[in-house]
Amino acid sequence: MKRVLGILGIVVLTALASCEQRDTSFLIAEDSVGPLQKSTTLNELETIFVEDSIVRDTFRTKVGSKTRKIKVYERGGKHLLTLTPSQDSVQRVENIRVFDNRYTSEKGIGLQSTFRDIKQQYAIKKIVTTLNSIVVFPKASNLYFTIDKGDLPPSLRYTASNIEEVQIPDNAKVKYLMIGWD
């Protein structure tokens, strides 16, 4: 009888563990950012972020022009995301800039991560050098990370030449986390 109860207990615990849902409210996946899906149209944003505030860019240069930026805030006023819509006839989100530290990728990378964290979780496809920062593009990912040149050694801060992966210090912090959906 004890053996049957033990086996039954194991079966119940296994069933409960498999039913446990992972909170995806702040999870960045290849086709989603929290509740936002790659296929989401701009018209669906009010429904998806019903508990949050959505602020659309009101500056328009001509009548009939499309929204340029959409900012998503928590009810308390904390800036979560800035969305850039596509220019297609059915507008979807094309780019997302993450502002909240709670958002992390499936591999645990977020705004509080360092270049070392990125290298440990992703293979680097390319690094683009800009005037004030470098942009790191991982292979097989829609994510990209911006690192401020201020986190680089002094000899690299003012260079316009390409910066290589080995030149970036492991402790360089992620300044911006963005997702690009084409």
CB-hemisphere CA count at 13 Å for 76? Answer: 3
For residue 62, which amino acid is it? K
What average pLDDT does range 115-122 have in this prediction? 96
3-class DSSP assignment, residue 100:
coil
**pLDDT value of position 174:** 96
Closest listed residue to residue 160, CA positions, set 123, 120, 132, 122:
132
Which range (40-54, 94-108, 134-148) has the least confidence? 40-54
**pLDDT value of position 17:** 47
DSSP state of 158: T
For the cut 60, the answer to whether the pLDDT of residue 173 exceeds it is yes
Residue 138: pLDDT band with limits 50, 70, 90: very high
What mean pLDDT value characterizes the chain? 84
Residue 5: pLDDT band with limits 50, 70, 90: very low
Which pTM does this prediction carry?
Answer: 0.80
**pLDDT value of position 31:** 93
134 in Cβ contact with 152 (< 8 Å) = yes
Which tokens hold the place of 144?
């990209």
Instruction: Give me Rg for the CA atoms of the chain.
Output: 21
